[in-house]
Structure formats: structure tokens, C-alpha cells
């Protein structure tokens, strides 16, 4: 109901809609309308009321509220149910609880801040206010070994959104970091001498996919996306700042986080549907086009293996193929990559 009230107020933003009109159009009493308006105000909407004129929507809170994400969202699956928190431990943990209780595919969890944001391999993910901390529940019919494909689909969705909305050159570092070629303000960066104004790759988004599977079927996949949007880099712990950026930092202004969220969901869904229809090949093709890794000198750590060489390909399983100095080809399915040549 509150969503419908908001939609009517939005249609005449900053003008008045009478309580009588709202009550007639929505089929509820004027007292009920008044109560809903109070709740919306409590959530941060600035709505003024004037005795004979009615209600007027003045401004919307800077929050990723479900009403805002749902309005005009062009998806069929993603975001059909939205759970929003001002603060949570980890959106992935909550999404896993939901899916264990039987929630359907496409439900999402969003939070303004996370107290225990999770990176991969037990690492910490810093999640101050201003980012997008999002988990998406999917139930694809894939083999457990193919779950990393879902991460690629999400990384592509985020990178495409950044490119289309802000014309920033977002690239994907294997397997799933989204990087931006960022201007460096200092002369020294990453231990190398750099001219002021030259560019290095910095991480703007990380993805953590968690799943539950039986031997040959996946029960569910939770894709956790952490995107640094309107965040001053100083909000991150000092040890995380060096190779980190945010959209605000790159553009030198804040962006509309709701718009970013909607577009990301739409882009991810498009890639997901493409994957369902045509398989992984077209996804792989798109991924290779915006890879920050291919053709570069890299150091890869995968379990106990450390491999240095040139990243020469990503195969049909999504594995990274590295050619070592000795001319040997090595393949890794999971791990961390550092770019040596840029
Ligand atoms: C990732 O891990 O990149 C996956 C991050 C996934 C976060 C999302 S937020 C929504 C959902 N709910 C969760 O609890 N998690 C997911 P990894 O590749 O392991 O990178 C972690 C490392 O990146 C840390 O050890 C830091 O060095 C660095 N880091 C931490 N916070 C960062 C941030 N906000 N931006 C960039 N780098 C960060």
C-alpha cells in the first residue's frame, strides 16, 4: 500500500495530492492514508501536509529502500522480493537463511552498512554507508563445478552498469573483481615510479558467491556483490585503501545509488537469461572483451600453487590459462591474481 501511495505522490512530486483523492484511488480511509504517511516519514521521506491541499512529496531519503528499487525496475526475476536493512552482519548470511527457509529465486537482500561483511576465503569486506551491499538468490540448473559462472555473470552485470551509466572503463580481473583504471595522484604507486596523472587499476567491486549443492546439482547460489559507490576512500581501513576506489572518487561527485542498483539487477538478469538460453559461450565472449587480466603478466596464487607468467586465455570452464616463463601452460580454476604488467 505504501508503495502505491508513494507512486501517486511521485506522479506529482512537490505538488499536492489530497487525502481524499488518495483515499478514493486506493480504497482505504483517510486515517489509514495518514498512518502510512507517518510511517513513510519515519523511513526518511520528506512529506509535507497542508490542511486543504493534502500531501506533497518533497524529497526521498538517500537509502536503497525497496519502494525505490521496485519503481520502474525492468526485471522478471531479480528483485521480485527485496529485503532491506539499515545495518546487518552480512547480506549473504541473511540470504542463506532465507533460502534455507524456502525463499524463491530472485529474492535480494540489500543493506546500507554491514558489520561483518565477508570477502572470499574468510577475508573482511569493509562496508560503510554509501556502497551497495547486495545479495542475490539464484537457483540455476548447473553442476556445482559451474557455480563460478554465476560470479562471472554478476561481475559482467556490474562492469556493464558502470560503463553504461558513467562511461568509466570498468574491467574484470579474473576471477571476479571489478576494477577501474584510476588516476593516481602520487608519484609512487605499487612500488613503481609513476608520473602524476598516470593510471592504475583499482578495485571498485568484489563478489563472493556461496552455494549449497549435492553431488551433481546446485540447490542454490547466493551472489554477494560489494560495490563502492558514494564512499570517501578515507572511510575504509587504512590497509584497504591503496588499491581501492569508489565511483564517487572516480567521478568526483555522488551518484544515484538506487539507479545503480536497478541497472545492475537488470544487467545481471540479462546475462543470466542469456546464459540460460545460450549457455556459457556468449558470457565468456563478453567477459574476455573486458578482462583486465588477459595478455598481462600476472602472479596467481591458487591454494598452495604460486604461478607467475602471462595470462593467455580463459577456457570454457572459466579457468585461467597462464603461460610461464619456461613456456609451460598452467591452468587454475580458483585463486587470487596480482597484475604485474598493466
Ligand atoms: C571479495 O573478496 O572481493 C568479495 C567481496 C564481497 C562483498 C559482498 S558485500 C555483499 C555480500 N555480503 C557479504 O558479506 N559479502 C558480499 P576478496 O577478493 O577476498 O577481497 C577482500 C579483500 O579486499 C580484503 O582483504 C581487502 O584487502 C579488500 N577490501 C575489503 N573491503 C574492500 C572494499 N570495500 N573495497 C575494495 N577492497 C576491499
Examine the domain organization and report whether 169 and 221 are in the same domain.
Answer: yes
Examine the domain organization and report whether 48 and 162 are in the same domain.
Answer: no
Question: Which among 154, 175, 167 has a CA at the least distance from the CA of 227?
Answer: 154
Burial 306-318 (b: 16+ CB within 10 A, else e): ebebbbeebeeeb
Model pLDDT, residue 107: 98
224 lines ligand 1 (CB under 6 A): yes
pLDDT surpasses 90 at 183:
no
Examine the domain organization and report whether 222 and 123 are in the same domain.
Answer: yes
Examine the domain organization and report whether 159 and 272 are in the same domain.
Answer: yes
Examine the domain organization and report whether 102 and 199 are in the same domain.
Answer: yes
Domain hosting residue 336, numbered range: 297-340
Peptide bond into 175 cis (omega under 30): yes
In angstroms, the CA 75 to CA 271 distance is 12
Model pLDDT, residue 12: 85
Examine the domain organization and report whether 25 and 123 are in the same domain.
Answer: no
Question: CATH no. for residue 201?
Answer: 3.30.930.10
Model pLDDT, residue 41: 94
Model pLDDT, residue 284: 94
| 119 CA → ligand 1 middle, Å | 4
228 lines ligand 1 (CB under 6 A): yes
Nearest CA to ligand 1 atom 34: 126
Mutational test site, ligand 1, from 226, 232, 244, 268, max ligand atoms within 8 Å of CB: 226
DSSP 256-274: -HHHHHHHHHHHHHHHHHH
Examine the domain organization and report whether 253 and 282 are in the same domain.
Answer: yes
Examine the domain organization and report whether 204 and 238 are in the same domain.
Answer: yes
Nearest CA to ligand 1 atom 11: 224
Question: Which residue, of 255, 273, 289, is where some domain finishes?
Answer: 289
Three-state secondary structure call for residue 105: coil
Mean pLDDT of 271-300: 95
pLDDT surpasses 60 at 121:
yes
* Residue in the block written with cell 595522484: 185
152 in Cβ contact with 164 (< 8 Å): no
- Domain count for the chain: 3
Examine the domain organization and report whether 285 and 302 are in the same domain.
Answer: no
Q: How confident is the model at residue 333 (pLDDT cuts 50, 70, 90)?
A: confident
Model pLDDT, residue 318: 84
Q: What mean pLDDT is reported for the chain? A: 92
| 67 CA → ligand 1 middle, Å | 27
Mean pLDDT of 193-215: 83
Question: CATH no. for residue 316?
Answer: 2.30.30.100
Question: CATH no. for residue 45?
Answer: 1.10.10.10
Examine the domain organization and report whether 314 and 216 are in the same domain.
Answer: no
91 lines ligand 1 (CB under 6 A): yes
In angstroms, the CA 324 to CA 309 distance is 4
Mean pLDDT of 198-225: 93
Examine the domain organization and report whether 81 and 202 are in the same domain.
Answer: yes
Question: Which residue, of 40, 59, 78, is where some domain finishes?
Answer: 59
Amino acid at each position: 500500500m505504501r508503495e502505491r501511495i508513494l507512486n501517486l505522490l511521485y506522479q506529482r512530486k512537490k505538488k499536492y495530492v489530497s487525502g481524499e483523492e488518495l483515499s478514493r484511488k486506493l480504497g482505504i480511509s483517510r486515517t489509514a492514508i495518514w498512518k502510512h504517511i507517518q510511517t513513510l516519514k519515519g523511513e526518511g521521506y520528506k512529506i509535507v501536509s497542508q490542511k486543504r491541499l493534502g500531501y506533497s512529496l518533497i524529497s526521498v531519503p538517500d537509502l536503497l529502500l525497496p519502494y525505490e528499487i521496485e519503481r520502474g525496475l525492468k526485471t522478471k526475476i531479480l528483485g521480485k522480493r527485496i529485503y532491506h536493512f539499515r545495518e546487518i552482519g552480512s547480506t549473504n548470511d541473511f540470504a542463506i537463511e532465507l533460502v534455507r527457509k524456502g525463499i524463491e529465486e530472485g529474492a535480494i537482500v540489500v543493506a546500507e552498512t554491514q558489520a561483518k561483511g565477508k570477502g572470499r576465503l574468510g577475508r573482511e569486506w569493509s562496508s560503510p554507508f554509501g556502497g551497495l551491499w547486495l545479495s542475490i538468490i539464484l537457483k540455476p540448473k548447473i553442476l556445482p563445478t559451474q557455480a563460478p559462472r554465476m560470479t562471472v555473470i554478476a561481475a559482467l552485470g556490474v562492469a556493464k552498469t558502470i560503463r553504461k551509466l558513467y562511461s568509466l572503463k570498468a574491467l574484470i580481473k579474473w576471477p571476479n573483481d571489478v576494477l577501474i583504471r584510476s588516476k593516481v595522484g602520487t608519484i609512487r604507486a605499487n612500488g613503481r615510479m609513476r608520473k602524476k596523472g598516470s593510471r592504475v587499476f583499482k578495485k571498485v567491486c568484489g563478489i563472493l558467491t556461496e552455494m549449497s549443492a549435492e553431488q551433481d546439482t546446485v540447490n542454490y547460489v547466493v551472489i554477494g556483490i560489494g560495490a563502492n559507490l558514494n564512499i570517501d576512500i578515507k572511510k575504509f581501513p587504512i590497509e584497504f585503501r591503496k588499491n581501492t576506489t569508489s565511483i564517487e572518487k572516480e567521478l568526483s561527485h555522488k551518484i544515484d545509488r538506487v539507479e545503480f542498483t536497478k541497472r545492475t539487477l537488470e544487467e545481471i538478469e540479462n546475462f543470466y537469461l542469456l546464459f540460460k538460453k545460450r549457455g556459457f559461450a556468449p558470457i565468456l565472449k563478453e567477459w574476455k572483451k573486458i578482462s583486465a587480466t588477459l595478455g598481462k603478466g600476472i602472479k596467481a596464487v591458487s591454494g598452495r600453487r604460486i604461478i607467475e607468467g602471462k595470462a593467455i586465455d580463459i577456457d570454457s570452464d572459466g579457468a585461467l590459462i597462464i603461460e610461464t616463463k619456461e613456456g609451460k601452460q598452467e591452468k587454475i580454476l580458483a585463486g587470487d591474481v596480482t597484475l604485474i604488467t598493466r
